[in-house]
Structure 1
Amino acid sequence: MQAPPRSRHRIPAPRHERPLPATARDDGRLPTQIRATTLEPGYLLHAEGSCLISMGNTKVICTASVEEGVPLFRKGKGGGWVTAEYGMLPRSTGTRNARESTRGRVGGRTQEIQRLIGRSLRAVTELEALGERTIWIDCDVLQADGGTRTASITGAMVALHQAVSYLLARRLIPRSPIREFVAAVSVGLVGRFPVLDLCYGEDAAASVDFNVVMTESGRFVEIQGTAEGEPFGREELETFLELGARGITDLIALQKEAAIRGSQLPADRRARNGGGEAAG
């Protein structure tokens, strides 16, 4: 399966009221750089699609599982469904967090992230082309250092692409339901400067933080933005969105490279396959 053509949408460079410093971050990155990112397709043996995404110290394993049948509300409508679950390993964080299964309920944050991942993938999927089948996306955080929900969306897109390749190889669907790629990244105001792809320390210190979900054609799926203190203006909002779009353009380029590798893996053996790396 060939990846969709690269978008010609041009993202303008961010505007700022004052020059950005040569480096203003503990890890040496420029404000406009994403963290070193790898996408490893076919990471798990059994899933129809899988991807291990590493963004700096944040690591998430994403799988896409094909299941015949659809939820009741989709039955008889001639199309499929894409849905997501999200979780964090107990020691993915600095101190152990109990599994939600032992608490007896799924937390509000988890539900919000699951819905966000599902919405993001459905936005670029032609559900009718799936037939009456469901693709389950599972995103499990192995190690958290900020940006787990955005990394989950970016990695899940590659896993979904590989699962679609699996269906196409078996002639279970007539065409690819994937219209285009989608990725996500965080943006924030740390100190006096807008920065891209925040690690945990930056996120904790940010006075403004955003999660931006955007397609390769430059259209937004979701924008989540909050001011922790002083409100921000429209011009600052434009700066955050332009910075996020810049990072997503880089991530989608990595997704496409990983998707091509994933579609070339043997359909009956999804063994670990090396990923490409970019420092942003």
Structure 2
Amino acid sequence: MVRIDGRRRDEIRKVKITRNFIKHPQGSVLVEFGDTKVICTAMIDDKVPPFLKGTGEGWITSEYGMLPGSTQTRKARDASKGKVDGRTMEIQRLVGRALRSVVDLRAIGERTIWVDCDVIQADGGTRTASITGAFVALVDAVNKMDNAQPFSIYPIRNYVAAISAGIVDDEIMLDLCYDEDSRARVDMNIVMTDNGQFVEVQGTGEKSPFTRDEMMELIALGEKGIREIIDIQKKSLGEDGNKIGTGEEVKIEEEQQDNNSQQQ
């Protein structure tokens, strides 16, 4: 089956990550999944929510929004409606969970990293693009902190990215655009790390239930796509991604030294 944009069923859209897209944030990225475009920024606040005060632990939180011109018909701002809608709340919580899952929050100290994802053009997969771009913006922000005052343990343990998959016209497909997503019988969003661990799997039978075999095929296809996207993240970050995962090694070395000193 030839898809609307000519891709194979197991092919992701063209993914482009542009770093340092905005001047003021410590980390800023324009991420593009085909025609879906999201600006992701990461900014640091030297305080934490009340429930973390005095714990020595930091926090990462996210806000997500779609700009009025991001869709074919104007999307009203949440501020004009006086509340955040359920979909927006779900996505921003997902982005926050995904980022926190790969960060040692104790290592960043009592700071909050605010990650904002603003969709400027939507063509399906805005949440998966947001997670993918937000991670790169987060790395840039953390590296700026580390360069200013080195962490004793580098906080970011793994890469994390996300992709959608679905069943459209009885075909299992990867990275759905809007036309495909709107027709999907089954829709799934998968968030994974570079070492193959799952952060979240959201699978929904939109029009009918799906089988275990279909679920496993969707997940396998998602894994393939995420590996490709993480390779793109790594190329985008270049040497600035070299510290990712090194904090765990330092921690293990410190624990071994502590154990040796106790034995002596």
TM-score with structure 1 length normalisation?
0.84
Q: 2:215 — aligned with what?
A: 237
Equivalent residue runs for 1:1-280 within 5 Å: 23-171=1-149, 173-260=151-238
Moved over 4 A (4+): 261-264
- The amino acid across from 2:15 in the alignment is T
Q: 1:4 — aligned with what?
A: none
State whether residues 188 and 195 of structure 1, in contact with CA within 8 Å, keep that contact through their aligned partners in structure 2: yes
Deviations 1:172-220 (A, max 9, x none): 5333210001000100001121000000000011100100011111111
Shift of 1:230: 2.6
**How large is the Cα RMSD of the aligned pairs?**
1.3
Shift of 1:262: 6.0
How high is the sequence identity, in percent, across the aligned residues?
A: 52
State whether residues 42 and 262 of structure 1, in contact with CA within 8 Å, keep that contact through their aligned partners in structure 2: no
State whether residues 234 and 241 of structure 2, in contact with CA within 8 Å, keep that contact through their aligned partners in structure 1: no
Shift of 1:261: 6.6
Shift of 1:263: 6.9
TM-score with structure 2 length normalisation?
0.89
Higher-Rg structure is 2
> 1:256 and 1:92 mapped to 2: Cα distance?
28
SS of 2:76's partner is coil
Q: Identify unmatched segments of 5+ residues in structure 2.
A: 243-264
Q: 1:261 to 1:104 in 2, by over 3 A?
A: farther
State whether residues 85 and 138 of structure 1, in contact with CA within 8 Å, keep that contact through their aligned partners in structure 2: yes
- The amino acid across from 1:249 in the alignment is R
Shift of 1:231: 1.3
SS of 1:153's partner is helix
Greater relative contact order, per chain length (Cα 8 Å cut-off, separation 6+): 1
Deviations 1:208-253 (A, max 9, x none): 0100011111111111111122311111111000000000000001
Deviations 1:84-135 (A, max 9, x none): 0000100100000111111111111111001000000000000000011010
> 1:179 and 1:119 mapped to 2: Cα distance?
14
Q: 1:248 to 1:48 in 2, by over 3 A?
A: same
- Size of the aligned set, in residue pairs, is 242
- The amino acid across from 2:115 in the alignment is I
- The amino acid across from 2:221 in the alignment is L
> 2:239 and 2:30 mapped to 1: Cα distance?
13
> 2:128 and 2:86 mapped to 1: Cα distance?
17
Q: Flag the structure with higher helix content.
A: 2
